[in-house]
Amino acid sequence: MTSSQAGSRPVGEGEFNRLFEECHYTAFRLETLQVYDVGYEEEAFRRFLADGEVIATSSHQEWTRIVGSGRHFRRVHVVTEPLTDYLRFECVWAYRSSVRAGEDVNILPISEGSWPEGIPQSDYWLFDSERLVRMNYAQDGTMLTPELVTDPDEIVRANAVRDRALHLATPFTEYEKHFDTDMRPL
């Protein structure tokens, strides 16, 4: 989805970042891709693949600050097993530190070729259950354009999807018990 739909408009980087600062109570993220191609992770991902090293970055520090701000941050990531190298990296590099910072990270594991009923194959952020940002990605995981959704029906659906995804998912701290420190199955 690359163009704006009715009831939505593109969101620039500054406005998108302000949504995290302006939310009062909760922020929820649904992630559905198996690979994300975001520039700030390139060096950390390369080093993780080369020798398993996990490095802290400025994005880690900023996310820890946001998550530790007294609001409730939650996410569900639908992951296909076996995990891709990128998902192993994301679990080790991002999710472990996010959980330590206070984020409620959950995993909804699926097998190749299946998908959980009632969960769309599209990403979004939902702030305070009322501001919805559809996250649009290219097939390779490159971010295209986030869109602020103003259609009340879509916002209600996003709340229902959030609740269903949280119901179906496993807390990351439980999920990772089935893997070694590099997120390879035991």
pLDDT digits (tens, 9 = 90+) for 154-186: 999 999 999 999 999 999 999 999 999 999 999
Residue 80's pLDDT band (boundaries 50, 70, 90)? very high
Q: What pLDDT digit, counting tens, does each position of 23-39 carry?
A: 999 999 999 999 999 88
* pTM value > 0.85: yes
Report the 3 state secondary structure along the chain: CCCCCCCEEECCHHHHHHHHHHCCCEEEEEECCCCCECHHHHHHHHHHHHHCCCCCCHHHHHHHHHHCCCCEEEEEEEEEECCCHHHHHHHHHHHHHHHHHCCEEEEEEEECCCCCCCCCCCEEEEECCCEEEEEEECCCCEEEEEEEECCHHHHHHHHHHHHHHHHHCEEHHHHHHHECCCCCEC
Structural domain contains residue 2: no
Q: Residue 75 class from Cβ within 10 Å (0-12 exposed, 13-18 middle, 19+ buried)?
A: buried
Q: Which residues of 88-108 are buried (b: 16+ CB within 10 A; e: fewer)?
A: bbbbbbbbbbbbebebbbbbb
Number of domains into which the chain is organized? 1
* ∠ CA 124-130-134, rounded to 5°: 20
Structural domain contains residue 183: no
Residue-level pLDDT at 18: 96
Structural domain contains residue 171: yes
Structural domain contains residue 47: yes
Structural domain contains residue 185: no
Q: What pLDDT digit, counting tens, does each position of 88-102 carry?
A: 999 999 999 999 999
Structural domain contains residue 58: yes
Structural domain contains residue 1: no
**With contact defined as beta carbons under 8 Å apart, do 71 and 104 qualify?**
no
Alpha carbon separation from 138 to 2, 26, 36, 87, 146 (Å, rounded): 8, 27, 9, 17, 12
Structural domain contains residue 80: yes
CATH number of the domain bearing residue 72:
3.30.870.10
Q: What pLDDT digit, counting tens, does each position of 121-158 carry?
A: 999 999 999 999 999 999 999 999 999 999 999 999 99
Question: Is residue 3 scored above 50 in pLDDT?
Answer: no
Question: Is residue 72 scored above 50 in pLDDT?
Answer: yes
Q: How far apart are CA 39 and CA 173, in angstroms?
A: 27
Which residues form the domain of 147?
8-178
Residue 5's pLDDT band (boundaries 50, 70, 90)? low
Residue 59's pLDDT band (boundaries 50, 70, 90)? confident
Residue-level pLDDT at 57: 84
